[in-house]
Structure 1
Amino acid sequence: MLIRCILVVFCFISFHAVSDTRLLLRGSILSADNADTFQINGASHQRFENNAVALSQAVLAYNKVISDDWQLHAVANGYSDGEQKVGVNQLYTQYRPLTASTIKPEVKLGFFYPAISAENTDMGWLSPHFLSNSAINSWIGEELRTFGVEASLRQNGRQVRRDWSWKVIGSLFKGNDTTGTLLSWRGFALHDRQSLNNDRVKFTPIPGVVSEEGIGAPAWTDPFREIDTKTGYYVGAHLAHKRRSELRYYYYDNRANPLIFDPDRIYAWRTRFHAFTLRHMRNRNVTFFGQGLIGDTLMGENIVNNDFYAAYIAATYTHEAHQLSTRLDWYQVIDNDSTIDDPNSSRGEAITVNYTYAMSSKIALSAEWQVNRGRQENLRFLNATSVSSEAFHENLLQLAVTYRID
């Protein structure tokens, strides 16, 4: 019944405001390992478990031109899984004044993503190449959103008859105090479910985390909760060459006070990272892209102190209605604290292969295979006390039908 309601509401709104609205619906048939997903406090890093049929994506993107200089953007999502089934994913206003100057300003105000991703370039922050995101962007979709203001300056190389274009960015935000929770207590995951405003994301209840004798925290996180009232920031720069190659760099610091927690015992986590993005269009058919992430997160008075690293490289080949894409992921969390009952070290690698056939401008068929394997130290509390109990090996096969109205 819930899925039917989502479909009815999304279709009704879309067809009554089609000039400013885009709609995407995706149904998936999945074959996954017989292990409980983290979404129901299980140990699997996958979004779904067992064999399932799911509404994996329902996206309604609304764009409204308010004036020559101002636009309104809103994205709502619906899912058949997770804590919150329907909600807002992005909502912001954008100021882009018409000016004769070659250096143009831009301001965003609201709830939105920083432009870190190389793969999430489709509507609703989806990937046009894969059904599931890389480890980096799965985490960004879960725990990261700008709730604040972003200002930038940009110059288009074509306007000044140069091969190079550039953009510099700065942002102030709140509401990302818990960023780092999932990396530490669950590790990186690979999926396409983005957290909604007021959402909760669950993870395996590790005894040293949830027990009163331990940290006493719940086995879930609220990704966009404000705890310490401090303002975070990020800065970034984009450099593009002839619209074929682009390099991006971001530095992010939520400036959270790791000693503060709220009545739910949700802690603020001091999380910082450097993000690198590269995208290169080899020709009209072949594109290469990848990202790197280097950071650290701190909770309490050195209760949790972790470094984290992740990277992926990907390539996509398009010929007429056919698209073949592949991606290799690597990720690691290094535990630097001495909290014995809460080990956080994890590492892994994954391979993802996707084939998509565009039947028309509205309908696409996709098949995706993914293998994710690695070791996670805190899994030993859930299995037999042996070295092998820390290992995981996850397989996922997805068949999906995507319907869209642009």
Structure 2
Amino acid sequence: MATYKLLILPGDGIGVEVMAEVEKIAQWFTKEGIAAFEFEKGLVGGCAYDAHGKAISDSDVALAQAADAVLLGAVGGPKWDGVPYDVRPEAGLLRLRKDMQLFANLRPAICYPALADASSLKRELVDGLDIMIVRELTGGVYFGEPKQIIDLGNGQRRAIDTQVYDTYEIERIARVAFELARKRRNKVTSSEKHNVMKSGLLWYETVIALHARDYKDVECEHQLADSLGMQLVRRPKQFDVIVTDNLFGDILSDIASMLTGSLGMLPSASLGEVDQKTGQRKALYEPVHGSAPDIAGKGIANPIAMIASFGMALRYSFGLIEAADKIEKAISSVLDKGLRTADIKGEKGDAVSTSQMGDAILAALQTA
């Protein structure tokens, strides 16, 4: 039985609560002899700032580098609104992405049939929805330099953020998208703003050249990011794999997440390059939702996105495809039975707690 080292970073708010449900499931997989998981725990976000004066410590970054995969809950909250910008809770997540070179962010947007009525769109538009958004994660405007605010005098200031991409960064994220599409419905939609941005023009030209050179078997289309946002709420099932830059990926994936009914349903994976010697890659898995400080500590948060993020770790880091499929089927089974946390309950029925939802998914796994 293979043994894998997991670094657990629950973070802030509901991150602690939803991570506890993942630990139950990982321990069950170990007990069943499917794989053994060894846990280490660290701090990231506001709790790390409280403990160390920074959003993540050097020692916890070292643990992340050494782990087979990192599971992260959520970071941030109003408690830390006044801390310096460089040590804000989100800086811990950005450092992990940068230091671990996690350039590829995979965000599936799946609408389970049982939740189609929870979407803000009509059932026929989202029932059976299955989109994968591939977001470039370590370049673009979030990391480009210069990034600063300049005092111009006379009460005026100027803010500068720089959008920067090199050809290799665009090629490697596009390759991830094309390879994923080959295992899905064989269609990639590349999105940027080449009509008004030079970085968008380079993105557009690079993806066209890569497609013609190496991926002619995959259907490839191009849409401007603003138009794609409109199409996501107009006819979302036309898409299979969407590949885009850091900024637009952040925006478009949040739009796609609401098609499914709740941010509490959606996992994500952030992946690095495959090591040519070991065949392994650095990886971090986290739910798309935030720390939800308004409901933290109440035991009502939805753990499904966190559990599904662990399922992505089984699939992409450990090659445990059957185990990952079992988690997805268990989630679907529980939803089919009508169990709902508060965020997906709607106006009918009673909501189950965080731990009750986790227990129900675990029970479905045990009887699968």
Shared fold per TM-score greater than 0.5: no
Structure ranking higher in strand proportion: 1
Q: Which protein, 1 or 2, shows the higher relative CO under an 8 Å CA cutoff with sep ≥ 6? A: 2
TM-score (norm 1): 0.27
